[in-house]
Structure 1
Amino acid sequence: MPFELDLLAFPKAVPEVRGLLGDHGCEVRLCASELLTNVIDHLGEGTPVTVRVLRTDHGHTRVEVTDPHPRTLPVLLRATAVDESGRGLALLDRVARRWGVEQGVDHKTVWCELVGLGQ
């Protein structure tokens, strides 16, 4: 179940991470993809990140993406039918039990928690 990968956030990394998470459920793969895509879109290609999937003490699955930009926080938008972007966190918000951000001095971790093991 535990998964951890350090990588540079480039568009080609998104399907690679999904493939590496093939043993996890589709919701885990979806959330990891959305969180990684947010880094690419809002912090830039080549940003170093760590992607993690782990089990919580309550038996849920937690997906995390850590990056080195503690002050650039994700914003939940409500995209309209004609918007070309802005649906990633809204999708994650619908799929996840809960989600949030943990800020450190030199990094932040955006995470979401899925009900059950996500297997």
Structure 2
Amino acid sequence: MNHDNCVPRKGWEVPFQAAPREVPALRRIMRLHLTYWGLLGVLEDAQLCVTELATNVVKHVGLGAPAVLAVCMNGTKLHLEVQDPHADAVPTLDCAGTHDERGRGLALVDAMSERWGVRRTSAGKATWCELATTLTSPNGHVQDQRVSRADGLLSSYDAHVARFTGAGVAPLDQAAKGAASLIVDLLCWTQAHGLDPELLLEEAQESFEVASLGRHRCSLGVT
């Protein structure tokens, strides 16, 4: 399997109006896309950064201002930015005191991200940040020992089946633990590739029940 191009991650953007009620929706959108991209490891930090960047527009640009959330990959880093039409309202990183309620937004973004900044656009400005991932390529999957084991199994599965003779089988309890570990690895592999583990389990369960029913009918001599 080509691990460098197994999870295509095309950049996307969504327009919104600056308002507190929009923030939960932006967080949900981030969850959906990062789950699809197999990047759950940075999901919470990404949601927090989007929350602070969007809230910053509400506070310093104004309610109802048109804005855009844009997300893409910059190499192996997750790049996200919030664009607004006010180039002069440039956010700054303030040193908030212990009891200050203001000035903490960008401090959180600074803490969560590898780097952040502000750039001018033709329509205003964009406040952006980048989060590190465990990817080795923009369209690869996250580095996880369980995912790698499952990849190795899947790539050589047919060969293993062809060579299997039943000789030297481990005790049943040990084999059962190995089977459980394999299922966990496969679910991790599924999630890392932006797929739905619960859907995979449902499909596997349905296939298992169909296969079990077929074996039962054969044992009864039913055709």
User: Does the 8 Å CA contact 1:10/1:46 hold for their aligned counterparts?
Assistant: yes
What is residue 60 of structure 2 aligned with on the other side?
Answer: 42
How far apart, in 2, do the equivalents of 1:62 and 1:21 lie?
12
Change (3 A) 1:3 1:26: farther
Alignment partner of 1:51 is 2:69: yes
Q: Secondary structure at the match of 1:113?
A: strand
Output the TM-score relative to the length of structure 1. Answer: 0.92
How far apart, in 2, do the equivalents of 1:18 and 1:3 lie?
14
Which structure has more relative contact order (CA 8 Å, sep 6+)? It is 1
What is residue 79 of structure 2 aligned with on the other side?
Answer: 62
Q: What number of residue pairs does the alignment pair up?
A: 118
Q: Superposition pairs for residues 27-106 of structure 1, below 5 Å? A: 27-56=45-74, 58-106=75-123
**Greater helix proportion:** 2
- Residue 84 of structure 1 deviates from its aligned partner by 1.4
What is residue 17 of structure 2 aligned with on the other side?
Answer: 8
- Residue 21 of structure 1 deviates from its aligned partner by 1.1
User: Does the 8 Å CA contact 1:70/1:105 hold for their aligned counterparts?
Assistant: no
Q: What's the Cα RMSD here?
A: 1.7
Letter matched to residue 28 of structure 1: A
How far apart, in 2, do the equivalents of 1:105 and 1:17 lie?
24
Structure 1 unaligned runs (5+)? none
- Residue 104 of structure 1 deviates from its aligned partner by 2.6
Structure 2 unaligned runs (5+)? 1-8, 35-42, 136-141, 143-191, 193-223
How far apart, in 2, do the equivalents of 1:100 and 1:84 lie?
22
Question: Over residues 15-34 of structure 1, what are the superposed CA-to-partner deviations in whole Å (9 max), with x where a residue is unaligned?
Answer: 11101111321111111111
Letter matched to residue 22 of structure 2: A
Q: Percent same amino acid among aligned pairs?
A: 38
Larger Rg: 2
In the TM superposition, structure 1's runs of 4+ consecutive aligned residues that sit over 3 Å from their partners are: none
- Residue 3 of structure 1 deviates from its aligned partner by 3.0
- Residue 106 of structure 1 deviates from its aligned partner by 3.3
- Residue 78 of structure 1 deviates from its aligned partner by 1.1
Question: Over residues 70-113 of structure 1, what are the superposed CA-to-partner deviations in whole Å (9 max), with x where a residue is unaligned?
Answer: 11100101111111121000010011100011113431010001
Change (3 A) 1:3 1:106: closer
